[in-house]
Amino acid sequence: MTPRHHSLVGGSVIVLVFAAAMVHSAPPRPRRYVPTATKLAEEAYEELEAHESEERGEALKKFPASEWSQQDEFHNREASVVRDYAKKHRMPVRNVLDAFDRGAHERWPTRDGSVPEQKVIPCRPRLTY
């Protein structure tokens, strides 16, 4: 190799090392939250909402005298339904919860025309478990 080739190769190596260092030191791009498509969200909401009256009925049977305990039991059951739906449809749980929340707040149509219950029961935990 001639001296000219040595300086060309050396210069190229320096440029490549510098470029690699610049790429490596760049701050990572923040991941964007990609909202679920409206159609998928509506389908998730409709299926989850269909379980609500049944789950509330089971909670009422289990804790007939304690409204707070009924809510607690219902939300435990609801969380299980949400996780199962997310797993079945290969969706993140947060997207399923977002769909259910958006549907309830925006009053999306349901199979039976009902509106999900949107009240908060005062915290009066049961004395015995």
List per-residue pLDDT tens for the chain, 129 residues long: 555 555 666 666 676 666 666 666 666 666 655 554 678 888 888 888 888 888 889 999 998 988 888 888 988 999 999 999 999 999 899 999 998 888 888 888 777 776 666 666 677 666 666
Residue at 78 is within a domain: yes
Q: Is residue 73 part of a domain?
A: yes
- Report the C-alpha gap between 89 and 6 in whole angstroms: 59
On whether residue 6 sits in a domain, the answer given is: no
Let me know if residue 95 belongs to a domain.
yes
Indicate whether 46 belongs to any domain. yes
Number of domains the chain contains: 1
On whether residue 116 sits in a domain, the answer given is no
Question: Domain for residue 84, yes or no?
Answer: yes
